[in-house]
Amino acid sequence: MGMYGLRPIGGTLQSDDEEEHEHRLAAREARRALNDIRLAEQPDPALVRKALRPRATAITDSHVGTSAQASARPAAATRNSSSPASKPAKSAAPVRTDAVDVEEIQTRALALLDQLSAIDAQLTLVAEQSGLAARARRSDLEKQKATILRTLAALEKARLSASGR
């Protein structure tokens, strides 16, 4: 402890508190372990996105050449020369229907329907209550319900496109 009862700034290991000393040693060991497993060269972000999302393959494959050309141009030139009228309309990336698993869609839809019934039950309980907290909870539940309904609509659309091959 220094003057005014304050500790010095910085990550020193000099401390009166034994628990803090152990915490700093554990943090140092954790940082060392993370640095040991860190890759020497980070993977390309486009490849990571491609591996994580199957639909992203069509997007990254079609735009790899164009994004390299666009990044080579200066940013000021792209802002000044590009206008909405001069750009061609981009078409949606094609969805591979052979990658869609109808059974997986059905299991996800059933799980979402269970969530929806639970939210409806909570909404009926909150509907009886009044007050600011109840109104906020009701709003939150309605937003969750809307999100689930949108997800169910997307799953239905995917199921229809998969079955209509």
pLDDT at 54 (0 to 100): 62
CA torsion 20→21→22→27, rounded to 10°? 90
Task: Provide the pLDDT confidence category of residue 73 given band limits of 50, 70 and 90.
Answer: very low
DSSP string, 115-160: HHHHHHHHHHHHHT--SHHHHHHHHHHHHHHHHHHHHHHHHHHHHH
Sketch the domain layout of the chain as residue ranges.
45-73, 101-163
Helix axes 102-127, 132-163, angle to 10 degrees: 160
- CA distances 39 to 36, 45, 49, 60, 133, Å, are 8, 14, 17, 23, 47
- pLDDT (0 to 100) of residue 24: 86
What pLDDT was estimated at residue 113?
93
The DSSP secondary-structure symbol of 5 reads G
**Res. 69: pLDDT tops 60:** no
Predicted local confidence at residue 102, as pLDDT:
83
pLDDT of residue 144: 94
Specify the higher pLDDT residue, 44 or 80: 44
Structure tokens at 82: 């590009």
Owner of token pair 């609509």: 153
- Indicate yes or no: pTM above 0.85: no
pLDDT in tens, 110-140: 999 999 999 999 999 998 888 899 999 999 9
